[in-house]
Chain A
Amino acid sequence: MSVSVENLSVAYRSHRGDVTAVDGVSFALADGEIMGLAGESGSGKSTLGNALIYLDPRMKATGGTVTVDGRALPISDTRAMRPLRMTEVSLVPQYAMSALTPTRKIGKLITDLLRSHHVPDRQTVMTELKRRLELIGLREDVLDKYSFELSGGMRQRVTIIMSTLLNPSLLIADEVTSALDVSSQRAVGEMLLEFRDRGYIKSAITITHDLSILAQIADSIAIMYAGRLAERAATETIVNEPLHPYTQALIASLPEVGVRHDQVTLTGIPGRPPSLVNPPAGCRFRDRCPFAFDKCTQTPPFEEIKPGHSVACWKVSDSHAAVAGRAGQEQTV
């Protein structure tokens, strides 16, 4: 178990009180696991990703613990986190293309980073860096260039190389593929897999709203809705037999290859997520859920109903309990 997040809550301070963007989220990543984190805009997926590495002054962790490689991450203590960033936890930001300072050459920028992390043997790391550049098809001379001399895709790849250079245990890739064309998306996805296979990163969280890219690279997928986890399971399970009504609707809203959408209308999910300032009690998907019933006014627990498959939905856990109960009865008879 390389990463484990227990009951993590993160809030934004605002003059109208705290806005809890991540509300009691728990999950664990096995060694070598790539987890996809999906959800619509404002569901708190980026906030969750950021909280694991850098809580900016507007944010605060209101509860929960994060453990990486058996060590608790001091996520609320930015000073204590500093040496762990890039070495234990690393993040490729949404803006990876503009994350390189325009006034320093790439090589100098990376040397600076190594120096600020007091890497003793910089020469070895630089040799390794060149090897990795070659691996992803960049020429060594990018190190001698300014960031604006590279194309967007090259900058993106350089940023990913930079974030993974010190072999972090956890890499958070926040919307890394969103701004890329389809073939580059695939290349970046494969790059993550390659890095995982070679042990450059131990585990990764890929944040995106694009489920199709997750289907290609993620081992498991977590679906987030209005600050809470709705469902978490292996990728095939999420894609083929999702249980949470929100996941089902999300999968149903994806276009499929071979279907002519002038004949079959693509369905969306009616309604919009609730405001996270004073969110309604109970299940937050209630208002948009076709299966909502009385019990949904209480918050559903995020329960593991099968090994490796957790869902937060009364309907699912009730029917599962019923099935399990019947199975139990049959055994006693």
Chain B
Amino acid sequence: MSESAGGVPDVSAVVTIAVTPVGVPGGPGSTAIGRKRSDFVYYGLRNKKLVFGLGVELLLVLFAIIGPIIAKFSPEAFTGAQLQHPGGTYWLGTDTLGHDIFSQLANGLRESYLVGLLGAASASIVGMVLGFTAGWRGGLLDEVLQMITNIIVMLPSLVLLVVIGSYLTSRSVLFEGVFIGLTTWPWVARAVRAQTFSLRSREFVEMAKLSGKRPLQIIVKDIVPNMASYLFLVVILLFGSSMLLAASYDFLGLGPTGTVSLGTMMNQAQNEAALLYHEWWWFIPPGAVLTAMVAALLVANVGLDEVFNPKLREN
């Protein structure tokens, strides 16, 4: 335990504790790397927002994994018991067709996560590749990429989905996820481009050029780390917004065919006027789970920002 001299605040003491155990073994290179990773873990575990957000998210993920296994019925099975209140046999009740709500909720959540992952992955890959390219290269290439970006921004995605959907006999989860990704990347590309633009004229990037680094190295080692927290924010926000977007498409009946999702549950509840008949166990669980899922992500995101930006981590 390091002593803190007189009125020195706790911060310095905390830093020393974090550093000493890891910093000793290994060469200079490995020391720097080892310390850096441990810093993130150290500050991450002490950030209440991050721990809370990730905790809630972890519970929901566990539910999405274990729920379908422990559910007594298949989400599509007609149990015969219609509009049961939550209870012993049907933990969260049943709907008008006799589907088990618990099973639907667990399977639907799994579906939502899958769409969220697909959407976030495809949107961030396309957005970042185009954003970094445009921002780093500039010039004519930038103009062309900007034009493409603006065209995609202008596309009404809902109408596009209806049009494409009418040509397809069935829509898969993969289709929905990738469709969401390919219609939401433009704002990622724009923001990444703008940040790259401002970072590439910073002195340390100039210095990297002067010291003979290759462009890809400069982007990965000098530019990305300076916007890492932002990129994390982007991926997490994309993940959340993809799930919300998927839920709204599903709610409108444009979701994947033949599967259950949080959005389709709410769609059916709406169609059967569950709200009107006070069948709360039908529409509240999917709504609440969806809200918790997205809210927890946002809280975790604020926490992550503090962890990744050494200047923000004061407490």
A residues apposed to B, CB below 8 Å: 53-54, 81-87, 90-91, 93, 95, 98-105, 107-108, 111-113, 116-117, 122-123, 126, 130, 143-144, 146, 148, 159, 162-163
Select from chain A the residue with minimum beta-carbon distance to B35. A144
Q: How many interface contacts (CB-CB < 8 Å) are there between A and B?
A: 94
Distance of A113 Cα from B32 Cα, bound (Å): 14
Interface residues of B in 9-58 (CB under 8 A from A): 19, 23, 27-29, 31-33, 35-36
**A99 and B211 alpha carbons, distance in the complex (Å):** 11
CB distance from A102 to the nearest CB of B (A): 7
| In the complex, the 7 A-B pairs of residues with the closest C-beta atoms, listed nearest first | A85-B212, A99-B207, A103-B225, A101-B204, A95-B203, A107-B32, A108-B32
B contact patch SS: helix
Q: Which of B19, B204, B211, B217 neighbours the largest number of chain A CB atoms within 10 Å of its CB?
A: B211
Are A113 and B211 in contact, with the CB atoms below 8 A?
yes
Q: A107-B28, A111-B32, A143-B32 are in contact. Are A93 and B210 (CB under 8 A)?
A: yes
> A85 contacts B211, CB within 8 Å?
yes
Query: B226–A84 contact, CB under 8 A?
Result: no
- Which B257-272 residues sit within 8 Å CB-CB of chain A? none
A-B contact pairs, 19 of them (CB 8 A): A54-B210, A81-B212, A90-B210, A93-B203, A93-B206, A95-B203, A95-B207, A99-B207, A101-B225, A101-B226, A103-B225, A103-B226, A103-B228, A108-B33, A113-B211, A116-B212, A126-B27, A130-B28, A143-B28
B72, CB-defined interface residue at 8 Å: no
Nearest-Cβ distance from residue B21 to partner chain A, whole angstroms? 14
Q: For residue A134, give the distance in angstroms from its CB to the closest CB of chain B.
A: 14
C-beta contact mask, B181-194 vs A, less than 8 Å → 1, else 0? 00000000000000
Nearest residue (CB) in A for B139 is A57
Q: Give CA–CA (A249, B225) in the complex, Å.
A: 49
Cα separation A90 to B209 with both chains bound (whole Å): 11
A162 touches B211 (CB 8 A): yes
B210 close to A107 (CB less than 8 A): no
